[in-house]
């Protein structure tokens, strides 16, 4: 699976959009981009995933660049409850179902 690079931490104001970048320059054509988050003392939570098209669900939007070498997770209106570690993961959808978590980005939403 391709490796990802994310900023270590970022702050965001409550009510504003939070844009979380992820670089995955070695991604291959059959690898998906997944985002999970882990709120303190809880298990990780799935947010969204995509292959090459932009995706949106009730939690977030995922913007993938045309060359697929980077992506951005957008939390449209951040709340204090969005404070968490956000993980960007790329993986092939194959019989190997594991998720390989990196260090992620610690996002702190401030009032």
Partner 1 sequence: DTAVSQTPKYLVTQMGNDKSIKCEQNLGHDTMYWYKQDSKKFLKIMFSYNNKELIINETVPNRFSPKSPDKAHLNLHINSLELGDSAVYFCASSQVVLRGPGNEQFFGPGTRLTVL
Cβ proximity to partner 1: between 29 and 42 the closer is 42
The kind and range of the H/E element at 88 are strand 84-92
The answer to the question of residue 53 lying near partner 1 (CB under 8 A) is no
Query: Which 77-96 positions form the footprint of partner 1 (CB under 8 A)?
Result: 85, 87, 93, 95-96
Nearest approach, Cβ of residue 91 and partner 1 (Å): 8
Rounded (5°) CA angle 80-82-87: 150
Nearest to 45 by CA among 32, 31, 58, 54: 58
Q: Is 41 in the site for partner 1 (CB under 8 A)?
A: yes
Cβ atoms 65, 82 nearer than 8 A: no
- Determine, following the binding rule CB under 8 A, whether residue 32 of this chain makes contact with partner 1: yes
8 binds partner 1 (CB under 8 A): no
């Amino acid at each position: 699976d391709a490796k990802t690079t994310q900023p270590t931490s970022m702050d965001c104001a409550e009510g504003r959009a939070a844009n979380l970048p992820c670089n995955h320059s070695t991604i291959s054509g059959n690898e998906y981009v997944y985002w999970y988050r882990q709120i303190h003392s809880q298990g990780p939570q799935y947010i969204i995933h995509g292959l090459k098209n932009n995706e949106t669900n009730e939690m977030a939007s995922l913007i993938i660049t045309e060359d697929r070498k980077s992506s951005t997770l957008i939390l449209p209106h951040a709340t204090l409850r969005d404070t968490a570690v956000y993980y960007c993961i790329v993986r092939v959808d194959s019989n190997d179902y594991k998720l390989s978590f990196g260090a992620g980005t610690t996002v702190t939403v401030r009032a």
